[in-house]
Amino acid sequence: MLDSHHDQTAMPGEQGDHSLLQLDHQLCFALYACSKEVTRLYRPLLQELGLTYTQYVTLLALWERDGEPVKSLGSRLYLDSGTLTPLLKKLESMGLVNRVRDRADERMLRVNLTEAGQAMRAKAGSIPRKLCEVTGMELRDLEALRLQLQQLNAVIQHHYEEDSEHGED
């Protein structure tokens, strides 16, 4: 116990500067904060389209693969049916998608873009460029950062795959 004197007055730099638990030293918190702040940058742009951020990335996925089942959509978006079911119902109520059971396998629900859902893609086209401008950072650096994040994510996925191979005990 190096810091056995903990008073209530919160002397700055006294309670945890040498600690592994310092907030500013946590990669997890840098990710958490950065993700939220980037999402906040999107908010006003998406508001013009009447979309939330999660609805936006769901449409990104569907613009690439129309008619995808909920399960594989969730796998790409890292979301489960508990989140996707109400979200897709919302997109349906907005007239952007249709939800139809697969006739060959009635368990699967396929999500199809409507005309309006297709049309939204053109309106969203300018968003990536606008966001880049806001940061004013080098495109090269943003790309590099993205690749590192994808690599870290891949490492984590690999970790889970290893676990399930060993027959989770």
Partner DNA sequence: TCCAATTTAATTGTATGCAATATAGTTGCG
Partner DNA sequence: CGCAACTATATTGCATACAATTAAATTGGA
Q: Which is nearer to DNA, 4 or 93 (CB)?
A: 93
Say how many C-beta atoms besides its own lie within 10 A of residue 57's C-beta. 17
125 SS3 class:
coil
Binding mask 53-92 for its own copies (x = CB under 8 A): x---x--xx-xxxxxx-------x-x--------------
Which residues bind to DNA, rule: CB under 7 A? 32, 36, 39-40, 43, 52-55, 69-71, 74, 78-88, 90, 99, 104-110
Beta-carbon contacts of 90 under 8 Å, excluding residues fewer than 6 positions away, are 55
Q: Which does 67 bind (CB under 5 to 8 A by kind): DNA, its own copies, none?
A: its own copies
The C-alpha atoms of residue 80 and residue 88 are separated, in whole angstroms, by 12
Binding mask 6-45 for its own copies (x = CB under 8 A): xxxxx-x--xx--xxxxxxxxxxxxxxxxxxxxxxxx---
Q: Which does 116 bind (CB under 5 to 8 A by kind): DNA, its own copies, none?
A: none
Distances (CA, A) of 47 to 56, 100, 165: 10, 28, 44
160 SS3 class:
helix
Of residues 114 through 153, those in contact with its own copies by CB under 8 A are 118, 121-122, 124-125, 127-129, 131, 134-137, 141-146, 148-150, 152-153
Q: Which does 124 bind (CB under 5 to 8 A by kind): its own copies, DNA, none?
A: its own copies
Nearest to 131 by CA among 30, 46, 28, 52: 46
